[in-house]
Structure 1
Amino acid sequence: MDILLILDLFGTFFFAVSGCLLAARRNFDIVGSLLLGSLVGLGGGVIRDLIISQSVPTAFVEPIYLVAPVLAAVIVYFHVLGVQRFRRTLLIFDAGGLALFCVTGTLKALDSGMGPVTSAVLGITTAVGGGVLRDVVANEVPQIFNPRGVYAVPAMLGASLVTLFSQLGWFNAYTGTAVATVVFLLRVLSLRFGWRVPLAGGAKNPGSATD
């Protein structure tokens, strides 16, 4: 297997775990856990492939992609991760999926012949798409709209760096790993220290909004 496929599988697994953890937190059954894990794990990649106009998304061509959600559902079911801390563990795995998918999504877009800017945009879409689907289906506020902790910003940075390094001929396994690590750390640190992006209404307290 090439490195891109391996990174994609790890990203799928990390996102799938986050979906299964959310399912456990919402008291879904094991089937619901598997479906939610599959939705978040495969959703971003499917959106990416459809935008690229790939006739059949990779997740439906390579059966190995289905292993990740199944494994995630089993791990969560047997409490392998110590899921008593659902929220924290969910966000850590979500950050891992975000970091890997912004890299693989951008690379696949570049490989398809898309331009640098559109490739970066598609990398961001791949990174955040599955998480949005997961949270909407589970009736949660999507992490991308949560003011506490930056979410889309790390993906933007990662996709931009991948595009830049690829254009300069600097992208390789080491720089790709470095980019994913930076995205992951930025997301985790933003949660730890409560970093925020500016509110849409400026400095106004959102709790004081009126009609």
Structure 2
Amino acid sequence: MSVELPSASYRAFLFDMDGTLLNSIAATERIWTRWALRNGLDVAKFLPTIHGVRAVDTVARQRLPGVDAQAEAEQLTREEIEDVDGVVEVPGAPAFLKRLPPTQWAIVTSAPMALALRRMEAAGIARPDVMVTAEDVSAGKPNPSCYLLAAQRLQVTAQQCLVFEDAEAGIKAGEAAGADVMVVTATHTHPVVTLHSQLADYQGIGVEVDEDGSMRLSTLR
């Protein structure tokens, strides 16, 4: 199947992690299912709401009486760090990242740093020079502050960046930051309705770097 890549060039690529560079759905849903059952939630309705946002925001949104959202999120993170069974790369992601200039890409995740590094290790994803994690922002996705911070740390503007995302909250964060967005559909079970470019995975995808350092996606021949 042919892939329609954006023709624009960019100074930096900003990647969400879960669902975009790696697939952690099996582990995530195991742990959150147990939490939902303990708290009397409808698991089928609850699970689709957890992806792409910080754990503390997910817990707080339930408005459960007597529940400390921060403490619950910290416990959930500990459980997720211990359980990385089934965490795998999105096909082609590690090889694609190795093709990028190391100072021109970042990971921007709603996960805490410790969990992000654990999952990246499990999936074979290299740690970039710049990472923005849950601890770095006071408001998580869909707030754009995480992507704005990543662009700032890479010394570019968000408008000069291409954001790679899979979840609605992250897509909205990229849009609000003023960046172009590429929707990665590797973990989606249904077709995505979006005006943004889409990418099933990174197999066969390369990057062309111009003399001025600007990057453009390309297909490998």
Scaled by the length of structure 1, the TM-score of the pair is 0.26
Q: Which has the higher contact order (CA 8 A, sep 6+)?
A: 2
Higher helix share: 1
